[in-house]
Amino acid sequence: MKTALITGATDGLGRHVAVRLARAGTRVVVHGRDAGKAERVREEIAQAGGPDPVVVVADLADLRAVDVLGDEVTDHIPRLDVLVNNAGVGFGAPGAGREVSRDGIELRFAVNYLAGHLLTRKLMPLLTRSAPARIVNVASLGQAPLDFADLQTEHGYDGRVAYCRGKLAQIMDTFDVADELRDQAVTANALHPATFMATTMVREAGGTPMNTVETGGDALIRLVDDPSLNDVTGRFFDVRRDAKAEAQAYDPDARRRLREAADALIAAALRG
């Protein structure tokens, strides 16, 4: 039986995919930051007849909680075939100001990029022991080049720009992970599942839904279990189409600078 960890599995796309995978026979590790919501997903999976899920609770805006989450999964889950980094923070409400995480890091950079960066590396040993395995990062077509002089968007803050920078960083990290694990039968790909799905994130930003979570779910599940993608890694997909990310994602020096900055921020957060 396959086991899949889905972050942000208590709402929207994550919840939809968690239930669908469970119904098809995958054991799902349901992550959320709200224990009550996570339990409701557990009940929904049980009603759908899926394998008994595991529930893990952590606030991804707290890097120490992410670190503990990685340990918890490693200690209690014997194998992990799929990691889906789905949890994220959207543009924010129109006119909202700059927000920071519990570690004082710009919120969208922290949750949309740093949390997945840390969790993926914590789980790499488990994923490689379980190989063949897959990592799927739920990214976006919304991407903006990183400004290394203002990586956390402290000047001229705009929620959309911060979101787009965080999503590009996530894609850059996907390409790094694919390179690191290329010879270990673990693939890593990034996905724009659909534009403006009918989710809480889109509604909070004042957007008008253009797609359903079913559309995004189809695209995500394809990357999770389509046999034709067994050896496909280090790619960015727009729904089901192989696509190109923003040019900076393919710049090895930019990715190196991003890694170094991320590792420094994470180390400082974990020191407390």
Question: Which pLDDT tens digits describe the chain residue by residue (272 residues)?
Answer: 999 999 999 999 999 999 999 999 999 999 999 999 999 999 999 999 999 999 999 999 999 999 999 999 999 999 999 999 999 999 887 778 999 999 999 999 999 999 999 999 999 999 999 999 999 999 999 999 999 999 999 999 999 999 999 999 999 999 999 999 999 999 999 999 977 555 555 455 455 555 688 898 999 999 999 999 999 999 999 999 999 999 999 999 999 999 999 999 999 999 97
The yes-or-no answer on residue 163 being catalytic is yes
Alpha-carbon gap, residue 125 to 137, rounded angstroms: 18
**Which amino acid is located at 113 in the chain?**
Y
pLDDT of residue 74: 98
Q: 54, 8, 53, 48: which is closest to 24 by C-alpha?
A: 48
Phi/psi of residue 33, each to 5°? -100, -10
Identify the active-site residue in 113, 157, 163, 250: 163
Tokens of 87: 């949890």
pLDDT of residue 75: 97
Burial 98-123 (b: 16+ CB within 10 A, else e): bbebebebbbbbbbbbbbbbbbbbbb
Please check whether residue 262 is in contact with residue 172, taking contact to mean a CB–CB distance below 8 angstroms.
Answer: no
pLDDT of residue 157: 95
pLDDT of residue 272: 76
To which CATH superfamily is domain 3-271 assigned? Answer: NAD(P)-binding Rossmann-like Domain (3.40.50.720)
Cβ count within 10 A of residue 259:
15
pLDDT of residue 200: 56
Phi/psi of residue 12, each to 5°? 55, -135
Partners of residue 138 on adjacent β-strands: 191
Pairing mode of beta strands 241-243, 235-238: antiparallel
